[in-house]
Amino acid sequence: MDQMLERLAGNEYYCFLDGFSGYFQISIDPKDQEKPTTMEVFMDDFSVFGNSFLIDLTNLENMLKRCEDTKLALNWEKSHFMVKEGIVLGHKISKKGIEVDKAKIEVILKLPHPTTVKGIRSLLGYAGFYHRFIKDFSKISRPMTRLF
């Protein structure tokens, strides 16, 4: 997941495409395996990106052609085109890099204060998802993990 986010982050433009009706697998011919360096696929979501409008548009055109060739249906209502940022795997990606999705932080802030081991595990699970953004997360969380 981290590698995928790192590859997506730092681009100028993004297109987020939603595969219609669930999970699809597209096998890639060995001679074409270098081509996915301009896109990432996770489940039925496709992220196409580029460092300029023209590059992203070209990558999008190639992606849509591939979808057409393989008869892959997209959900246009849930797709976003030529945007500067988006949420991928619970993280905000943009030219600035990888950031926390503020909506996820709101969920964490609204969690009840943990009073049981199960509650502590839940809190650590939510917070651990963003450990990369929390300085000394393992040091901070260690006393809580020792409780179970």
Q: By the 8 A CB rule, do 108 and 127 touch?
A: yes
Whether residues 41 and 94 fall in one domain: yes
3-class SS of residue 40:
strand
At 128 the pLDDT is 92
Whether residues 95 and 114 fall in one domain: no
CATH number at residue 59: 3.30.70.270
Report how many domains make up the chain: 2
- CA atoms within 13 A of residue 109's CA, in its CB half-sphere: 6
User: Using one digit for the tens of pLDDT, what is the confidence trace for 34-58?
Assistant: 666 666 655 678 999 999 999 999 9
For the chain, give the percent of residues with pLDDT over 90.
Answer: 70
User: Which of 147, 148, 146, 142 lies closest to 127 in space, CA to CA?
Assistant: 142
Whether residues 8 and 79 fall in one domain: yes
User: DSSP letter string over 64-100?
Assistant: HHHHHHTT--B-GGG-EEEESEEEETTEEEETTEEEE
At 35 the pLDDT is 66
User: Using one digit for the tens of pLDDT, what is the confidence trace for 53-68?
Assistant: 999 999 999 999 999 9
Whether residues 12 and 83 fall in one domain: yes
Whether residues 54 and 90 fall in one domain: yes
CA–CA distances in Å: residue 130 to residues 56, 101, 137:
28, 10, 9
The pLDDT of residue 26 is above 70? no
Whether residues 60 and 79 fall in one domain: yes
Whether residues 28 and 77 fall in one domain: yes
Residues 6+ apart with CB under 8 A from 30: none
Q: Which domain holds residue 93?
A: 2-99
Instruction: Please report which confidence band the pLDDT of residue 72 belongs to, taking 50, 70 and 90 as the band edges.
Output: confident
Whether residues 17 and 66 fall in one domain: yes
The pLDDT of residue 27 is above 80? no
Q: How far apart (Å, rounded) are the C-alpha atoms in residues 21 and 72?
A: 10
User: Which of 51, 68, 61, 59 lies closest to 13 in space, CA to CA?
Assistant: 51
Last residue of a domain, one of 84, 99, 114: 99
User: Using one digit for the tens of pLDDT, what is the confidence trace for 97-134?
Assistant: 999 999 999 999 999 999 999 999 999 999 999 999 99
Q: By the 8 A CB rule, do 48 and 59 touch?
A: yes
Whether residues 22 and 95 fall in one domain: yes
Q: How far apart (Å, rounded) are the C-alpha atoms in residues 120 and 20?
A: 37
Whether residues 123 and 72 fall in one domain: no
Whether residues 8 and 50 fall in one domain: yes
Whether residues 21 and 53 fall in one domain: yes
Instruction: Write down the pTM of the prediction.
Output: 0.74
